[in-house]
């Protein structure tokens, strides 16, 4: 919108007030969010979340899934909370979510709302996305995207996003491997980014 209005395009983090900063979980933990409003926004690699969660647990982390919905999708695509994560799902107040995110070492999610909330709260974000170009969301040094496959259809002016079509995949709807943008993102790729975050922020020394 800034480009359309002819004003400087500058990123500004909103000032989010965390009403309750009490730590309720003693152990080190990571928050994840795996659900979204369209299948193209999901991490569509079947090995993805379970393998990543197992890696996080071997590092000593508790892994809390903070999605609103434990299951979401339609008859063709139903997405369930990944095995190995602790169930913190539910339609809870955002202030409760922010309090939980405030004490997380980091957050892993998609190009969707909880990633934005985490960024606003000042917690590091690992974002797994392919349907959107990196310029679409806030900048994070821990974004995971694979430019070797189909990507950034959301920013393609030759396509129009259909919010009523949960399975929207304009370029590969009739081809092999729809949602290729995230299907080709391996858990090993994400694990390397997570390990980089841990090293750069000195989190390894806590274990």
Q: What is the CATH number of the domain that holds 154?
A: 3.40.50.2000
pLDDT > 90? residue 10: no
**pLDDT class for 190, splitting at 50, 70, 90?**
very high
Number of domains in the chain: 1
In a domain, 20, yes or no: no
Going 21 to 27 to 30 to 36, the CA torsion angle's sign is: negative
- Among 89-98, 118-127, 169-178, the range scoring the smallest mean pLDDT is 169-178
Contact 169, 153 (CB under 8 A): yes
Q: Name 188's Cβ contacts closer than 8 Å, sequence gap at least 6.
A: 51
pLDDT of res. 206: 62
**Average pLDDT of the residues of the chain:** 95
In a domain, 69, yes or no: yes
In a domain, 19, yes or no: no
Q: Which tokens hold the place of 63?
A: 């892994």
In a domain, 21, yes or no: no
In a domain, 10, yes or no: no
In a domain, 194, yes or no: yes
pLDDT of res. 9: 86
CA–CA separation, 111 vs 64, rounded Å? 18
In a domain, 13, yes or no: no
Task: Taking residues 21-49, report their average pLDDT.
Answer: 97
- Beta strand 78-80 with 71-73: parallel, antiparallel or unpaired? antiparallel
What is the reported pTM? 0.94
pLDDT > 80? residue 207: no
In a domain, 135, yes or no: yes
Q: Which tokens hold the place of 166?
A: 């949960």
Task: Taking residues 58-63, report their average pLDDT.
Answer: 97
Which residue range(s) make up the domain with 127? 26-206
């Amino acid at each position: 919108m800034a480009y359309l209005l002819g004003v400087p395009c500058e990123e500004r983090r909103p000032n989010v007030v965390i009403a309750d900063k009490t730590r309720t979980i003693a152990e080190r933990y990571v928050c994840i969010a795996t659900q979204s409003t369209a299948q193209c926004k999901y991490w569509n690699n079947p090995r993805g979340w379970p393998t990543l969660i197992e890696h996080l647990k071997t590092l000593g982390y508790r892994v809390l899934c903070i999605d609103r919905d434990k299951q979401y999708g339609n008859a063709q695509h139903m997405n369930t909370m990944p095995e190995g994560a602790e169930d913190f799902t539910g339609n809870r107040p955002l202030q409760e979510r922010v309090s939980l995110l405030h004490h997380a070492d980091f957050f892993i999610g998609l190009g969707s709302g909880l990633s934005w909330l985490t960024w606003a709260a000042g917690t590091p974000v690992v974002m797994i996305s392919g349907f959107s170009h990196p310029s679409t969301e806030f900048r994070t040094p821990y974004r995971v995207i694979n430019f070797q496959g189909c990507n950034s259809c959301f920013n393609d002016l030759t396509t129009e996003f259909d919010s009523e079509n949960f399975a929207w995949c304009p370029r590969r709807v009739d081809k092999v491997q729809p949602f290729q943008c995230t299907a080709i993102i391996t858990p090993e790729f994400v694990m390397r980014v997570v390990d980089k975050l841990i090293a750069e922020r000195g989190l390894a020394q806590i274990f």
